[in-house]
Amino acid sequence: MIKTALIGHPLGHSLSGVIHNAAFKALGLDGKYELLDVKPEKLSETIDFLKKEGYSGFNVTIPYKVEVAKYLHLQDYLVEYAGCTNCVRINAKGEMFGYNTDIYGFTTAIPENIRKNLEGKKALIIGNGGAARAVAAALVMMKLSVIDFKVRSLEKASAVSDFMKMKFKNTTCSFAENLEKISDYAIIVNATPLGTTGENANKMPIASSLLEQADKSAVIYDLVYNPAETKYIKTAKEMGLYTIGGLDMLVYQAQKAFKIFTTKEPDFNVMKEAALKYL
């Protein structure tokens, strides 16, 4: 049996198991994908367990996308580039290889003609965690000239600030706890959990009064995928703005991770339909 998993904390609303298990079934593979809610003090122990029990690999989500690097034997260039890992393959020797499939997922979910129109323009990322790093790396690769961050705490954002200065010296960026205007951004990305089903469901990463200032050609992107349409996305749609929800990104990155784990190419539509059915 091919054994794979997702590790993170908390995992209450993850769709990864639904998506990956649908791919196993569609391809006729004897495999399973598990959700492992791992508390910080159990991370090292859990990784040892995955290696000893013969898991082919695992995905990584909040809050371990940066920390997991210390357990890796090798990592691909996108992990180096983004400073975070969301996918790990384990070989027969128990050696671990890190990948970042979030960059691929984030980028592929944006239609090519829109990606081209973003070149040389300004972006706003809301958040400063591992997901925000992957988004920043993707936007640099898409040749945006300015990447700004809206964060809750400048002190807590210091790690991302240092990362941007070290990795992307030619990209202008700034960090702010409060925003006064957003009209000059071509893309605004929510990389926080705000809007996720549960206690954060009715929360928005920025106030609707501020969102009203967005340029009418701006892309409003939400990494949150559960619900499929967050309050942030609904509000932006009502304002006539172009929106991208987190579900396509999730499925694209899962598709790439599944191939890393199994060497088999799963069907995007099968995975997405399973997610939508669950939602």
pLDDT tops 90 at residue 248:
yes
- Percent of the chain scoring above 90 in pLDDT: 89
| pLDDT score of 230 | 97
- What global pTM score does this model have? 0.92
pLDDT band at 1 (very low <50, low <70, confident <90, very high): very high
pLDDT tens by residue, 129-184: 888 999 999 999 999 999 999 999 999 899 899 989 998 989 999 999 999 899 99
pLDDT tens by residue, 195-209: 998 889 999 999 999
Q: Are 60 and 39 contained in the same domain?
A: yes
pLDDT tops 90 at residue 12:
no
Residue type, 212: E
Q: Are 238 and 115 contained in the same domain?
A: yes
The token pair at 157 is: 């954002």
- β-pairing, 57-60 vs 87-90, is antiparallel
Q: Are 123 and 209 contained in the same domain?
A: yes
Q: Are 137 and 61 contained in the same domain?
A: no
Average pLDDT of the residues of the chain: 95
Structural domain includes residue 96: yes
| pLDDT score of 13 | 76
DSSP 73-126: SEE-HHHHHHT--SEEEE-TTS-EEEE--HHHHHHHTS-HHHHHHHTT-EEEEE
Among the listed residues 89, 66, 67, 85, the one whose alpha carbon sits nearest the alpha carbon of residue 77:
85
Judge whether 51 counts as a catalytic residue: no
Q: What is the dihedral of CA 71, 74, 78, 81, to 10 degrees?
A: 70
Q: Are 252 and 240 contained in the same domain?
A: no
* Residue of 65, 122, 150, 272 marked active site: 65
Q: Are 237 and 252 contained in the same domain?
A: no
Structural domain includes residue 105: no
Residue-number span of the structural domain to which 82 is assigned? 2-100+248-278
Residue 250 Cα to chain centre, angstroms: 7
